[in-house]
Amino acid sequence: MSDHDNDNGGNTGVTFTLDGQSVTARDGETIWQAAARHGTDIPHLCYKDSDGYRADGNCRACMVEIEGERVLAASCIRAPGEGMIVHSDNHRAKTARKMVMELLVADQPERAAAHDPDSELWHYAESQGVESARFPAKQAAEPDSSHPAIAVNMDACIQCNLCVRACREVQVNDVIGLAGRGAEAKIVFDFDDEMGASTCVGCGECVQACPTGALMPKTLLDGDQMLAITPDRQVDSVCPYCGVGCQLTFSVKDEKIVAVSGRQGPANQGRLCVKGRYGFDYIHNPERLTHPLIRREDVPKSASMPFDPANPMTHFREASWDEALNLAATRLAAVRDEHGPSAMAGFGSAKGTNEEAYLVQKLVRTGFRTNNVDHCTRLCHASSVAALLENIGSGAVTASFAECRNAEAIIVIGANPTVNHPVAATFIKNAAQRGTKLYVLDPRGQHLDRYATASLRFSPGSDVAMLNAMINVIITEGLYDAAYVEAHTEGFEDLKARTAHTTPEAMAPICGIDAETLRSVARGYATAKSAMIFWGMGISQHTHGTDNSRCLISLALLTGNVGRAGTGLHPLRGQNNVQGASDAGLITMFFPDYKSVTDA
């Protein structure tokens, strides 16, 4: 390793020479990053140019020569210096990189028998004229097919450690590691278990990061662990599952989805969970409708008649779109005309686009002539929306998941993100790894407890008592942001009076958390320069759900933790476009852009 390999700090706007061209590096950029931004592709295998991945410099595929230095440097971890002269395409640098590639290829199956002959490894080997190696191969590892979705073929592993960083530092699942020493070093799952027997959650981040084909989706391989399916096109889309709204790309072969990869987006930054990456087989379920169906005239409606979804033609017949749409419009208009608009209603989906949400509410309001239109926002988070509208004038979240990176403290209450919003949970875990104080408030306990500064397993239903105790501490100890409260809030004196008696000592018997712990959490949240609160339906699905949300909003407003980087209120939604559907007016009391129907 070069003496300068780890010298990666602090240069701002330095100008250096790369292959005879003047290049200005941005603050914090490495030689590799500056080169890539200027169109120079330096081979790399152990570095992934994506959010959350740090450079490691262990594969040595990106070596460059720096004039005046005795040894070559790994460009992925070396910062440029002012006036530095760097060569990535001279004989010495290219010869060294070619030798590295030949050594790596020596342990690989031949390309014709490779698990992924189109991998990054083979791409860079080909670009450097390396097709085979002069060196003997080590003994190949046995394949591991124990995982239901991921094929493990360690005979293709180059120990770049990208899978380790993907698992431990990006998704923070702590399953993959490196064991052994020297020539005996190897990638392991947990305590050298088979992947299928390990604690792997199947997020597939390691598969997406692997540059060699050692980790691949099973859907693309045949029984001999060789690539059997090459997608013919890719389609960008959005994950249909939880409320995170991860952007993804479908790989399609013969009009069937065969694989999924994460796409860079503000909600997920390229990450996916097991559902988004592998839960796509339902799309090809033979029971899905592919044509409009109309009930047969000889089959009247009856709850007593058995119906098999796999054989709908016992009750229905195929129809054209024109016939089906005309029938639906005629029947709906007849109901409206006979029974009046109040007999009509429409329920939309928060998994649709903004445009679709707008059209659904438009159909109901102009076609049905009623405001009886809704979607899930008033079911899952009705109490949260009511409290947010009442206290901050908007039912929207005030910050994205990614703002965790700027937070000094995070409260998670009434939610289990690692299960219900797995990708959002990765940002919370990332923050905890960086030293952010994480307070998990959950009567049951959960996986995030492992990363928490404090975990409060309070008595179910005592949310208001516990949160009011924290408000009491913040007010009585003068930890609130007086300037923010004065400038941006109202009702402070009333809140102070109402919580004067809710001391931690008084509330401890109710919520089951000792007074000192309540004080500690309140102080930790209030003294942080930036703090966020995430909550789920454990807060909203109560008879006192609105009061629960009011308490959380009051905590944030008291401490000025709204409207700045690393701050905010974030009710974790159940579907990925609850916000957009509400913005578009798919809700009974608002037209688009939250214009009240009572003002019309």
pLDDT value at 325 more than 80: yes
Beta bridge partners of 284: none
Would you say 350 and 576 are in contact if contact means Cβ atoms under 8 Å apart? yes
| CATH of 14-89 among 3.10.20.740, 3.30.300.30, 3.30.420.480, 1.10.3720.10 | 3.10.20.740
> What pLDDT is recorded for position 600?
66
Average confidence (pLDDT) over 85-109: 96
**pTM assigned to the model:** 0.91
- Which residue reads 């200027």 in tokens? 38
Alpha-carbon distance of 466 to 510, in angstroms, equals 8
> What pLDDT is recorded for position 5?
44
Average confidence (pLDDT) over 416-427: 96
In sequence order, the 6+-apart residues with CB closer than 8 A to the CB of 146 are 152, 194, 195, 196, 197
Amino acid present at 265: G
pLDDT value at 452 more than 90: yes
Quick one: which of 354, 435, 420, 403 has its CA closest to 532?
Answer: 403
- Flag the least confident range among 227-236, 511-520, 590-599: 590-599
Sign of the dihedral through C-alpha 187, 191, 192, 195: negative
Quick one: which of 465, 551, 525 has its CA closest to 501?
Answer: 465
| Domains in the chain: boundaries | 14-89, 340-392+575-599, 398-572
At 12, the pLDDT band (50, 70, 90 cuts) reads low
* pLDDT tens track for 479-526: 999 999 999 999 999 999 999 999 999 999 999 999 999 999 999 999
pLDDT value at 6 more than 50: no
Q: Please, what is the angle between helix 463-476 and helix 545-558, to 10°? A: 20
The tokens for 532 are 């966020």
pLDDT value at 551 more than 50: yes
Alpha helices in 40-155 (DSSP H): 91-106, 120-127
Q: How far is CA 199 from CA 121, 167, 173, 195, 203, in A?
A: 28, 11, 8, 8, 11
Same-fold call for 14-89 versus 398-572: no
At 139, the pLDDT band (50, 70, 90 cuts) reads confident
Percent of the chain whose pLDDT exceeds 70: 98
CATH number of 398-572: 3.40.228.10
SS3 for 279? Answer: coil
Average confidence (pLDDT) over 248-270: 95
Half-sphere exposure of 90 (CA within 13 A, CB side): 12
Alpha-carbon distance of 514 to 507, in angstroms, equals 9
Would you say 468 and 499 are in contact if contact means Cβ atoms under 8 Å apart? yes
How much is the mean pLDDT over the chain? 94
Quick one: which of 208, 251, 205, 201 has its CA closest to 230?
Answer: 251
At 305, the pLDDT band (50, 70, 90 cuts) reads confident
**CA angle, 373 then 376 then 379, to 5°:** 105
Q: How far is CA 360 from CA 420, 571, 596, 597, in A?
A: 28, 25, 18, 16
Higher per-residue confidence, 9 vs 477: 477
Alpha-carbon distance of 269 to 205, in angstroms, equals 12
Alpha-carbon distance of 556 to 551, in angstroms, equals 9
Q: How far does Cα 118 stand from its chain's mean position?
A: 27
At 3, the pLDDT band (50, 70, 90 cuts) reads very low
Other Cβ atoms within 10 Å of 277 Cβ, number: 25
At 1, the pLDDT band (50, 70, 90 cuts) reads very low
Alpha-carbon distance of 240 to 268, in angstroms, equals 14
SS3 for 26? Answer: coil
Alpha-carbon distance of 518 to 66, in angstroms, equals 57
Quick one: which of 214, 213, 264, 252 has its CA closest to 423?
Answer: 264
Quick one: which of 561, 383, 583, 541 has its CA closest to 470?
Answer: 561
Would you say 62 and 43 are in contact if contact means Cβ atoms under 8 Å apart? yes
> What pLDDT is recorded for position 378?
79
* pLDDT tens track for 271-304: 999 999 999 999 999 888 999 999 999 998 888 8
Amino acid present at 539: I
Alpha-carbon distance of 522 to 556, in angstroms, equals 11
Biggest alpha carbon–alpha carbon distance for the chain: 90
* pLDDT tens track for 371-414: 999 998 878 888 998 899 899 988 888 998 889 999 999 999 99
* pLDDT tens track for 327-343: 999 999 999 999 999 99
Alpha-carbon distance of 222 to 323, in angstroms, equals 44
SS3 for 174? Answer: coil
Average confidence (pLDDT) over 116-124: 96
In sequence order, the 6+-apart residues with CB closer than 8 A to the CB of 8 are 30, 55, 77, 78, 79
End-to-end CA distance of the chain: 72
